[in-house]
Structure 1
Amino acid sequence: MKSAGFTRDEHIKRPNDFKNLFKNGKRASTAGAKLFFLPNGMNFNRIGFPLPRGFGNAVQRNRAKRFSRETYRNFKAHLNTGYDILFLVYPPSEKDSFSTRCVQFRTLCEKAGLVKE
């Protein structure tokens, strides 16, 4: 059985890839989060988790990225492959939790048409 891990190849690392997604990517948004995506011509998805400037302190930034990575890891089996994805979350509120992040990510993927039929 294939692991639900999150490999190095699945990370978007290069600044030019981030810039290209922000500039040319299609968008979907919901309260507190935004998704940018473009086809990448590969047989797997790549994802990045940028945060806007002024996003809390280091603890809040690390927590937000950890929640986002785990959300993607749990949900990636339900996504179509062949996309570069950026999952952008906005500064935290009192209601910021893992379950909230999961709902945001699922909603955005459904709006973007990335969920398998």
Structure 2
Amino acid sequence: MKSAGFSRKEHIKSPAEFKNLFKNGKKTSVFGAKLFYLPNALGFNRIGFPLPRGFGNAIERNRAKRFSRETYRNLKAHLNTGYDILFLVYPSSEKDSFSTRCVQFRTLCEKAGLIKE
């Protein structure tokens, strides 16, 4: 049985790609998170999980990225393909939780029209 993970080719890695998405990408937001997206010429989605400067300590940053990756992994089968996506989360006064992250990501994808019908 194949894993539902995502491979290295699905990660956005280069700073130039991040800058391009921030500059030219369409964006949508909810409280505590933003989604930047652009169509790509590939047959699959690529995603990055940037964090703003000053986002807590290393433990909080790693937890935030881990929650974001797992949220994407669970929802990626329901997304349209062919997009570069940045999922940006902001620190909040509330405790960071996986369920909150799932709701944020699903809402953002619905607003952006990235979820399959």
Q: Taking structure 2 as the reference length, what is the TM-score of the superposition?
A: 0.97
Q: Which amino acid aligns with 2:36?
A: F
Aligned to 2:104: 104
CA RMSD in angstroms comes to: 1.0
Percent identity between the aligned chains? Answer: 85
* C-alpha separation in 1, matches of 2:97 and 2:104: 11
> How do 1:33-112 residues align onto structure 2 when only pairs under 5 Å count?
33-112=33-112
Q: Which amino acid aligns with 1:21?
A: L
- Structure 1 regions of 5+ residues with no counterpart? none
* C-alpha separation in 2, matches of 1:92 and 1:98: 14
Do the aligned residues in 2 keep the contact of 1:56 with 1:92 (CA within 8 Å)?
no
Residues paired across the two proteins, number: 117
Do the aligned residues in 2 keep the contact of 1:60 with 1:92 (CA within 8 Å)?
no
Q: Deviating runs (4+, > 3 A) in structure 1?
A: none
- Structure 2 regions of 5+ residues with no counterpart? none
> How do 1:26-37 residues align onto structure 2 when only pairs under 5 Å count?
26-37=26-37
Q: Which amino acid aligns with 1:87?
A: F
* C-alpha separation in 1, matches of 2:24 and 2:2: 32
Q: Taking structure 1 as the reference length, what is the TM-score of the superposition?
A: 0.97
* C-alpha separation in 2, matches of 1:50 and 1:110: 20
Following TM superposition, by how much is the alpha carbon of 1:2 offset from its aligned partner in structure 2, in angstroms?
A: 4.7
18-27 vs 93-102, which moves further: 93-102
Do the aligned residues in 2 keep the contact of 1:80 with 1:114 (CA within 8 Å)?
yes
2:80 match: secondary structure: coil
2:28 match: secondary structure: strand
